[in-house]
Amino acid sequence: MKKRRSLKEKSMKMNGCRFLMITVAFLLVSAGSPLWAQPDKIVLEGKTRPAVTLPHNRHVEAGLSCKDCHHIYENGKNILDEGKLEEGNKDARCFTCHSPKSRLNLEQAFHKQCIGCHGKYQKEKKKTGPPYCGGCHLRK
């Protein structure tokens, strides 16, 4: 005589399968994500002050999307293809558009982007990075 499974046992088995499917789906999606191709820390060299170490992983963990920092504007809209944000892609580098001869050079672009965002979060009383020069440009 076959033993019947209880409703509770069937439910537990279904929940286990559901958990496994969600875990596998998450791993497949995240493995192909350009976010995982980025280093945890990115060093931004300056001209007059010490280099800045940008904790890329902290910005991602804080829930910022790629387009919150990375951009290609056309007619006032960010048309960036996030799939092109792979490490080593020269077309995705900031200095490709923000060259020394551009309207907004690289240093100005970083200052506007970083200080602007940190200041906004500070005004909103949210956790943020340092809003002053010495907080990012650390002397050794």
Residue 101: CATH number of its domain: 3.90.10.10
Q: Looking at the structure, tell me whether residues 16 and 49 fall in a common domain.
A: no
Q: How many domains does one find in the chain?
A: 2
**What is the model's pTM?**
0.64
Those residues whose C-beta lies under 8 Å from the C-beta of residue 36, and which sit 6 or more positions away, are 30
Asked if 129 and 54 touch (Cβ cutoff 8 Å), the reply is no
pLDDT in tens, 69-122: 999 999 999 999 998 888 778 878 888 889 889 999 989 999 999 999 999 999
User: Residue 22 belongs to what domain range?
Assistant: 1-31
Do 22 and 48 have their domain in common?
no
Alpha-carbon distance values, 38 to 31, 89, 131 (Å): 12, 11, 24
23-44 per-position pLDDT tens digit: 555 554 444 444 445 678 888 8
Q: Please tell me whether residues 54 and 13 are part of one structural domain.
A: no
